[in-house]
Amino acid sequence: MGEPRVLIVGAGPAGVRCAETLLAAGIRPVVIDEGRRDGGQIYRRQPEGFTRPYTKLYGTEASRAENLHQTFERLRARIDYRPQTLAWNVAQGKLHIVHEGHASALPYDALILCPGATDRLMPMKGWQFAGTYSLGAAQIALKSQACAIGSRVVFMGTGPLLYLVANQYVQAGAQVAAVLDTSKAGARLRALPKLLARFDVLRKGSALVASLKRSGVIVANGIEPLEIIGNAADGVRGVRYRDASGNVEQIDCDAVGLGYHLRSETQLADLARCAFRFDATTRQWLPQIDELGRSSEKNVYIAGDGARVLGADGAEIAGRLAAYAALIDLGHEIPAATLEPLKREQRKMDRFRLGLVEAFAWPAEQAARLSDDTIVCRCEGITAGELRRVVHDEGAQEANRAKAFSRVGMGRCQGRYCGHAGAEIIAAAANVPLEQVGRLRGQAPVKPLSIATVEDTE
């Protein structure tokens, strides 16, 4: 009997540690990576020839990023690494991929999904203007192109990533006009007992805020976003918001970075027919997994931010645990003494995660307040008013039915950036619980394929 074929999707923190663990057990995995190089989004590498030091590029995460990159360099010759390869479907025990216009299907004995997460976004009036980016896109510009998204940038939203990206911009020499956070100071205080589960991370976060203030950046909490000012010809010209005291303020800028923490990339898990559950704390649907990362589908495992957002170091642990789960199911004996410390650490990280959710809450109430002319789905140009119309006139109180009537979520992002806010708008308009609205179903291909794609056989 030959060596089992184990496929890993993603070469971020979870995927790299997963591959490392499998290699140590004598299994050479296939690592499918959409990126040009390893590292994922959080530890995205700069291009060859760029020489910015790790401390400037990754800030407080520099040592972890460098360690992960060095680990992968040691592994690379011993694994079947396939960069710039899109995993676009899972069906009938095969992972469908495409690389340089050639599509193929890989059968597997175990499939470990480490797809990471993307920005969670709340629409606001004017966010369709050129110069509006997600926090992740702002990071990509800095790390991969060594440029800022604008000459004077405002970062708006909530969550640790908001402060991390703003600080990375300041470290790179960019002008950051303000960091505008929708979370309230009181919520952070209430969440403190959970956040203390990882005091070192809490201290790093506090240091980021302090560093921004020392650099002269306006840092405001408890704000309500009102409008991105600009026009189609000139793009972003400023932002308007209501501060914690109820005053309307305006800041001039030529770029805005938006983000409300992260959302798990779940499309491949959906196509693999994994069961999902509604997580009331984060108000989103997540794949069901056990403590090691097993999904409801046999031989399919989910690790890292693709299952729940624990951060980069949490993803590393989850990647190891998912690898161990696959090894156990393939007949390997893994001692409890190996698993228990990782599980304990993961439970501590999950407590911290719940603290972050409480401290930096997803501002669901903003969706109900969006004006009817606010664009919700930027791919298709669908407004909040149109989405409310299909609820009231067509009785579309379920996400996929509303999608069919309005086209919200039918664009190239397949609802990644509008799906959560769209569901909140539907729930508010229909006066039903968010859970009842459901979730947009994953569709293959998960990202667009070229019409010139040629199918190969393997």
| Domain topology for 121-260 | FAD/NAD(P)-binding domain (3.50.50)
| Domain limits, the chain | 6-118+263-331, 121-260, 364-437
Report pLDDT for 115. Answer: 95
One-letter identity of residue 156: M
First-last CA distance in the chain:
20
Over the chain, what is the mean pLDDT? 94
Please answer whether residues 116 and 12 qualify as being in contact, where contact means their C-beta atoms are separated by less than 8 angstroms: yes
Cβ atoms within 10 Å, residue 92: 7
Question: What sign has the CA pseudo-torsion 225, 58, 203, 308?
Answer: positive
Give 364-437's CATH code, choosing from 1.10.10.1100, 3.30.70.3340, 2.30.30.40, 3.40.50.10490.
1.10.10.1100
**Sorting pLDDT into bands at 50, 70 and 90, what band is 3?**
confident
Range of weakest confidence among 176-180, 203-207, 396-400: 203-207
Summarised one tens digit per residue, pLDDT across range 134-173 is 999 999 998 888 899 999 999 999 999 999 999 999 988 9
Q: What number is the average pLDDT over the span 51-78?
A: 86
Report pLDDT for 457. Answer: 67
Cβ atoms within 10 Å, residue 277: 12
Residue 428: strand, helix, or coil: helix
Place of tokens 């997994």: 289
Report pLDDT for 55. Answer: 81
Report pLDDT for 1. Answer: 52
Summarised one tens digit per residue, pLDDT across range 36-46 is 889 888 888 87
Report pLDDT for 458. Answer: 53
> Between β-strands 284-287 and 102-107, what pairing exists: parallel, antiparallel or unpaired?
unpaired
Q: What number is the average pLDDT over the span 258-281?
A: 96
Summarised one tens digit per residue, pLDDT across range 77-106 is 999 999 999 999 999 999 999 999 999 999
> Between β-strands 117-119 and 262-264, what pairing exists: parallel, antiparallel or unpaired?
antiparallel
Summarised one tens digit per residue, pLDDT across range 332-386 is 999 999 999 999 999 999 999 999 999 999 999 999 999 999 999 999 999 999 9
Report pLDDT for 256. Answer: 98
Report pLDDT for 44. Answer: 84
Residue 255: strand, helix, or coil: strand
Q: What number is the average pLDDT over the span 323-340?
A: 96
**Upstream peptide bond of 445 is cis (omega within 30 degrees of 0):** yes
In this structure, what are the phi and psi dihedrals at residue 183, rounded to the nearest 5 degrees? -75, 155
If you write DSSP's letter for every residue of 378-412 in order, what string do you get? TTTTEEHHHHHHHHHHH---SHHHHHHHH-TT-ST
Report pLDDT for 41. Answer: 83
Place of tokens 């997803």: 362
Report d(CA 390, CA 392) in Å as an integer: 6
One-letter identity of residue 193: P
Residue 256: strand, helix, or coil: strand
Which residues make Cβ contacts (< 8 Å) with residue 308, sequence separation at least 6?
264, 279, 286, 350, 353
Q: What number is the average pLDDT over the span 197-203?
A: 91
- Same CATH fold, 364-437 and 121-260? no
* CATH number, domain 6-118+263-331: 3.50.50.60
Percent of the chain with pLDDT over 70: 99
In this structure, what are the phi and psi dihedrals at residue 60, rounded to the nearest 5 degrees? -65, -15
Report pLDDT for 2. Answer: 73
